[in-house]
Chains A and B, each alone.
Chain A
Amino acid sequence: GAVVSQHPSWVICKSGTSVKIECRSLDFQATTMFWYRQFPKQSLMLMATSNEGSKATYEQGVEKDKFLINHASLTLSTLTVTSAHPEDSSFYICSATGMDTQMNTIYFGEGSWLTVV
């Protein structure tokens, strides 16, 4: 299957600082990328959908000014958590799909653990 890579795998940051997570499609052009958040023992919750070159569409209740998403190329999307607080600590997962993935199958990155102290 297609490969999606996230970086960093885990990050610890101080409260009030910003942190950026990268998501790359390694062997296909990702026209659409999705960002999810997952709290312990819960399912994945969609945060936003981004299409290459367009502004991201955020799910209800997700602050677009806090979770900045950039999808400037067909292989890279970034999620920046601004002014992070301890309640933002979570597992963040990106996924991607494109015309050259089988029937627009969605593939996921490995996830990024964020801990805000």
Chain B
Amino acid sequence: DAKTTQPTSMDCAEGRAANLPCNHSTISGNEYVYWYRQIHSQGPQYIIHGLKNNETNEMASLIITEDRKSSTLILPHATLRDTAVYYCIVRVAGSARQLTFGSGTQLTVLP
């Protein structure tokens, strides 16, 4: 699976949009971009995934560049409970392959 690069940490003001970037320049055509987050002392939580089109669900939006080499996860109105480590992972969907976790981005939402 392709490697990803994320900033180590980011801050965001409560109520504002949090934009978390991810670079995946070696992504293959059949690899999806997945986002998970891990709140302290809990198991990772699935957020969203996409292939090439932008995706939106009740938690977040995922914007993937046209060349698919980078993406941005957007939390439209961050709350204190969104403070967590956010992981961007690329993986072949439709397979039973594991998720390989990098270091992720520590997002801190400030009051």
A46 CA to B96 CA, complexed, in Å: 14
Does A44 contact B44, Cβ atoms closer than 8 Å?
A: yes
**Secondary structure of the B contact surface, majority rule:** loop
- Check if A88 is an interface residue, CB within 8 A of chain B: no
B7 at the interface (CB under 8 A from A): no
| Neighbouring B residues of A111 by C-beta, 8 Å | 41-43
Residues in A neighbouring B104, C-beta threshold 8 A: 43
Residues of B within 8 A of A51 (CB): 96
Chain A 18-42 interface mask (CB, 8 Å, partner B; 1/0): 0000000000000110101000000
A31-B96, A32-B96, A43-B104 given; A106·B43 CB < 8 A:
no
A84 in the interface, Cβ–Cβ < 8 Å?
no
CB-based contact A44/B101 at 8 Å: yes
Contact (Cβ within 8 A) B103 A43: yes
With contacts A93-B44, A103-B93 taken as known, whether A43 is within 8 angstroms of B101 at the C-beta atoms is: yes
Residue A17 CB within 8 A of the other chain: no
Query: Does the CB pair B42–A106 fall under 8 Å?
Result: no
Asked if B44 and A108 sit within 8 Å, CB to CB, the answer is yes
Residues on the B chain within 8 Å of A36, using CB: 101
Chain B residues with CB under 8 A of A107: 46
Q: Are B45 and A108 in contact (CB under 8 A)?
A: yes
Q: Are B32 and A103 in contact (CB under 8 A)?
A: yes
Is B98's CB under 8 angstroms from A34's CB? yes
A105 at the interface (CB under 8 A from B): yes
The interface of chain A, by Cβ under 8 A from chain B, is 1, 4, 6, 31-32, 34, 36, 43-46, 49, 51, 91, 93, 95, 97, 103-111, 113
| Known interface pairs A45-B101, A103-B49, A104-B95; 13 further A-B residue pairs with C-beta atoms within 8 A, sorted by A's residue number | A34-B99, A43-B104, A44-B38, A46-B100, A51-B96, A93-B44, A103-B93, A104-B94, A106-B98, A108-B44, A110-B42, A110-B43, A113-B41
Q: Tell me the B residues contacting A by CB distance below 8 Å.
A: 32, 34, 36, 38, 41-46, 49, 87, 93-96, 98-104
13 contacts between A and B (CB under 8 A): A1-B46, A34-B99, A43-B101, A43-B102, A43-B103, A44-B44, A46-B98, A93-B44, A103-B32, A105-B49, A107-B46, A110-B42, A113-B41
